Structure formats: structure tokens, C-alpha cells
């Protein structure tokens, strides 16, 4: 037997594993690196977040990725070159982190690498009959494994697509194991570039659990922060706080079939981008809106579409706890708008449940890798878009 397969077999049999989860999302702010200690699997999964770091992307890397990011037409050579480049870069970032934490690569069992999404095209979006749902992440796992010397599991989304899903959101598979609690209706709300939530009903019935995207989180806000402030984001919502919400533009922004589609569903910056806003401005005759009003309206757009989606799972007479994660939880204008519209919900962060909200998505991929190695027996019922699969491909270092 190839000794590397033997090594994988040994890791899969261990009662507990040390797994590094990696996530670099649609905000392109950096690589989230979460060193997790995970015991057991499935509903018995127990995660301790040992260390966490976000390694920021420099401006050159952001610009390189943006040349091919969420665009229908790109330079193919650039895509081809970035695939190994990002893989090697992520590998090096892991090594630098481990060194700063005084941990040897040999002390880590597995790297679970999401890669960089460069294009996301569910069928509802591309509308081309003969093609299936599609999504593409780059930063190939072979390069991460070669640089770190650690067995790497990557490319998690393709199996989901292969079984009829949209390749996202995958959060359901981790949130259910980590955060579900009998007797409490929980909503795990992640506000990254795109916002999504996981519904965890109080009866812990796996077949009722799902995650869905709700629409934009920060992606459009960040685009306008770059344009209006020359900054990566509107820190603490300072610009938005100075503006007034424009009702005409807000209503125009909400006109999109995505918002009425059934759960679970996915989207991305391919749809929700500056062109989307400019078109809504033309339709609502608000093209000369001051920057602060535009920003205030865009925050309200994210908040309203999150709330509208969440309200669809709520039942009268039930109570719900919302646990936030992702960079949007740091934007007080956004969180205040949510709380105003959902006065009967209690609001917290996943930090209250033991996992930092900044690290949650990176931890998710560590849990998905753990499940591929040691779990896989949980049924999520037969809901369309939540296939009963484990995900990820294995890359050996040699």
C-alpha cells in the first residue's frame, strides 16, 4: 500500500484530529486560517478553535484576483496561472502562521482548503438549459499539500453540484453538527460578501435543517467604499450612518427573481455588483444620490433582504435566537437595522457558542474535512439542494 494512504487511514481512525480550515471568501480581504481540534464526527462533532488568524491579501494580489473574479469574460492565461499561484501562496501562509504559533507542520493532520471562488453559476442564474449548476474555486490542493507537506482536502463544492446541489451554501453540514441545540430555534447568520443563514429548528430534525444565501452582505458596500472612500470597506458604517435611506432606490434594488425563489438558493457578486446598483438607480431616477445616502440605502438593502428571508422560516408564537458571524457583524449600521426589524429575536454572535464569528467559515471547512474522513452517516432528508454527501478531494504531499 502507498504509505500515504496508510497515513490517511490512520488519521481517519483517530478519535480526534488537528485540522487547519482555510477560507478566502468573496470579500477578497485575506485568507482565514483556523487551527481546529476536532473530536468524533456527525452530531457528536466537538470543535475547539485552537488558533485563528486572517492573513491579509496585499493590493497586488487583490488586483490580480479581480482580473478574473466574477466576470463572464477573462484572460484565460491569468486564470491558469493563478490556480497554482494561489495554492502555493495559501500553503506558504499556513507555514508562516504555524511558525508564528510555534507549531510544526507535522503536528497537523489535515489541511481543509476552500480555495478562492472565481465564478459561481447556479442554473437559476446562467439559465442555459443543457448546463448544470456550476461553481469554480481555484488554488489547487496539490500545491497546498506540496508546500506544507500536510495531506490536503480541497475543492469541496463539486461533489455537492454532482449530486444536484448548487455547490453552496455548505454551512448547513457544519452548523448542524456544531451549533444545533434541542429546545432552541437557532438561526446562524453569516454576513460575508454574500449573506446566508442556517435554520436549526428546536427539534434538531436534520431533514428540516438548511442553509440559504439571502443576497448581498458586504459585497456591494465594499465596492462603493472603494469607489467613494478609496478604502476596502466603510469602517463601522461611518459613511452609511451619515446618510438617509432612499425609498425609491431601495424598492428598485429589491426587484430580482432571486429574492422570491424557494430555499435553499445561492448567489454571488456575479449578480449583486455595481452594475446591478447602477441599473436600479436608472430605473428609480436616483443617479445623482449623494454618496452617504447611497451607502445608507445599500446597507438597508442588505438588512431588508436578510430579514425578509429569515421571516420566511419563522412561525408565530415561536422564539428565535440569531447568532451572527462574518465581517458584517462588525458593521453597527447593518446590525442595528437587523435588530430594528426583528425586535422579538435575541441577537448574539457565534462567539457566544464557542466559535469566533470571524473564524466560523474557516472552521466549517475543517468540519467538512473531518466528516469526509471519519463521518458521513448523517441524513439530511431528501430536501432539494441538501444532498447527503461528504465532500472534498485528497491531495498527498508526494
Ligand X SMILES: Nc1ncnc2c1ncn2[C@@H]1O[C@H](COP(=O)(O)OP(=O)(O)OP(=O)(O)O)[C@@H](O)[C@H]1O
Ligand Y SMILES: CC(=O)N[C@H]1[C@@H]2OC[C@@H](O2)[C@@H](O)[C@@H]1O[C@H](C)C(=O)O
- Taking CB under 6 A as the criterion, the residue among 169, 330, 364, 395 binding ligand X is 330
Window 260-299: residues binding ligand X (CB under 6 A): none
Residue 29 annotated as binding?
Answer: yes
Determine the Cα–Cα distance for residues 22 and 155; give it in Å rounded to an integer: 11
* Residue 25 in contact with ligand X, rule: CB under 6 A: yes
Look at residue 309 and give the partner it binds from ligand X, ligand Y, none, a contact being a CB closer than 5 to 8 Å depending on partner kind: none
Binding pattern to ligand X, positions 224-263, x when CB under 6 A?
Answer: --------xxxxxx--------------------------
* Residue 218 in contact with ligand Y, rule: CB under 6 A: no
Find the part of the chain contacting ligand X (CB under 6 A) among 297-305, 311-319, 321-329, 344-352: 321-329
- Taking CB under 6 A as the criterion, the residue among 19, 24, 25, 218 binding ligand Y is 25
Cell numbers found for residue 212: 440559504
Determine the Cα–Cα distance for residues 9 and 384; give it in Å rounded to an integer: 32
Cell numbers found for residue 63: 488586483
Q: Is 375 helix (H, G, I), strand (E, B) or coil?
A: coil
* Residue 148 in contact with ligand Y, rule: CB under 6 A: no
- Taking CB under 6 A as the criterion, the residue among 18, 19, 20, 26 binding ligand Y is 26
Look at residue 198 and give the partner it binds from ligand X, ligand Y, none, a contact being a CB closer than 5 to 8 Å depending on partner kind: none
Window 107-126: residues binding ligand Y (CB under 6 A): 117, 120
Nearer to ligand Y, 87 or 192 (CB): 192
* Residue 26 in contact with ligand X, rule: CB under 6 A: yes
Q: Is 132 helix (H, G, I), strand (E, B) or coil?
A: coil
Nearer to ligand X, 27 or 297 (CB): 27
Nearer to ligand Y, 246 or 272 (CB): 272
Contact of 373 with 66, CB cutoff 8 Å: no
Nearer to ligand Y, 167 or 201 (CB): 167
Distance of CA 303 to the CA centre of its chain: 17
What DSSP letter does each residue of 306-319 carry, written as one string? HHHHHHTT--TT--
231 backbone dihedrals φ, ψ, rounded to 5° = -130, 155
53, β-bridge pairs? 33
Binding pattern to ligand X, positions 188-227, x when CB under 6 A?
Answer: --x-xxx-----------------------x--xx-----
For helices 59-66 and 76-100, the axis angle rounded to 10 degrees is 150
Name the DSSP letter for residue 70: T
Cell numbers found for residue 15: 478519535
Taking the CA atoms of residue 53, residue 87, residue 10 and residue 386 in that order, the dihedral angle to the nearest 10 degrees is 80
Residue 81 annotated as binding?
Answer: no
* Residue 56 in contact with ligand X, rule: CB under 6 A: no
388 by Cβ neighbours in 10 Å (0-12 / 13-18 / 19+) ranks as middle
Residue 358 annotated as binding?
Answer: no
Nearer to ligand X, 203 or 235 (CB): 235
Determine the Cα–Cα distance for residues 388 and 376; give it in Å rounded to an integer: 8
Contact of 192 with 328, CB cutoff 8 Å: yes
* Min CB(353)–ligand X separation in Å: 17
Q: From the annotation, which residues make up the binding site for ATP?
A: 25-32
Q: Residues interacting with ligand X, by CB under 6 A?
A: 23, 25-27, 29, 190, 192-194, 218, 221-222, 232-237, 326-328, 330-331, 361
Amino acid at each position: 500500500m502507498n504509505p500515504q494512504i496508510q497515513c490517511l487511514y490512520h488519521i481517519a481512525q483517530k478519535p480526534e484530529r488537528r485540522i487547519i480550515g482555510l477560507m478566502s471568501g468573496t470579500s477578497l480581504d485575506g485568507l482565514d486560517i483556523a487551527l481546529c481540534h476536532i473530536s468524533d464526527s456527525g452530531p457528536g462533532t466537538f470543535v475547539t478553535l485552537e488558533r485563528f488568524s486572517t492573513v491579509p491579501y496585499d493590493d497586488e494580489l487583490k488586483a490580480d484576483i479581480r482580473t478574473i473574479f466574477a466576470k463572464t469574460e477573462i484572460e484565460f492565461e491569468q486564470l491558469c496561472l493563478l490556480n497554482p499561484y494561489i495554492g502555493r501562496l495559501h500553503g506558504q501562509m499556513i507555514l508562516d502562521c504555524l511558525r508564528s504559533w510555534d507549531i510544526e507542520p507535522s503536528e497537523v493532520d489535515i489541511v481543509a482548503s476552500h480555495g478562492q471562488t472565481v465564478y459561481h453559476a447556479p442554473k437559476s442564474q446562467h439559465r442555459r438549459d443543457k448546463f448544470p449548476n456550476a461553481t469554480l474555486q481555484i488554488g489547487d490542493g496539490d500545491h497546498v499539500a506540496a508546500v506544507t507537506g500536510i495531506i490536503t482536502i480541497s475543492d469541496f463544492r463539486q461533489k455537492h453540484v454532482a449530486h444536484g446541489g448548487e455547490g453552496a451554501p455548505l454551512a448547513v453540514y457544519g452548523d448542524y453538527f456544531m451549533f444545533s441545540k434541542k429546545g432552541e430555534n437557532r438561526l446562524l447568520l453569516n454576513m460575508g460578501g454574500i449573506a446566508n443563514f442556517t435554520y436549526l429548528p428546536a427539534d434538531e430534525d436534520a431533514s428540516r435543517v438548511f442553509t440559504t444565501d439571502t443576497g448581498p452582505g458586504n459585497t456591494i458596500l465594499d465596492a462603493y467604499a472603494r469607489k467613494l472612500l478609496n478604502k476596502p470597506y466603510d469602517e463601522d458604517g461611518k459613511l452609511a450612518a451619515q446618510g438617509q435611506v432612499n425609498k425609491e432606490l431601495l424598492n428598485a434594488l429589491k426587484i430580482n427573481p432571486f429574492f422570491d425563489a424557494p430555499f435553499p438558493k445561492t448567489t454571488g457578486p456575479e449578480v449583486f455588483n455595481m452594475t446591478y446598483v447602477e441599473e436600479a438607480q436608472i430605473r428609480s431616477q436616483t443617479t445623482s444620490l449623494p454618496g452617504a445616502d447611497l451607502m445608507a440605502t445599500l446597507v438597508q438593502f442588505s438588512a431588508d433582504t436578510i430579514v425578509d428571508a429569515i421571516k420566511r422560516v419563522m412561525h408565530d408564537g415561536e422564539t428565535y435566537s440569531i447568532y451572527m458571524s462574518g465581517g458584517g457583524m462588525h458593521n453597527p449600521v447593518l446590525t442595528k437595522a437587523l435588530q430594528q426589524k426583528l425586535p422579538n429575536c435575541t441577537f448574539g454572535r457565534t462567539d457566544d457558542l464557542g466559535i469566533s464569528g470571524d473564524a466560523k467559515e474557516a472552521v466549517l471547512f475543517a468540519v467538512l474535512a473531518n466528516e469526509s474522513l471519519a463521518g458521513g452517516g448523517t441524513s439530511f432528508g431528501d430536501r432539494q439542494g441538501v444532498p447527503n454527501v461528504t465532500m472534498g478531494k485528497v491531495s498527498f504531499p508526494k
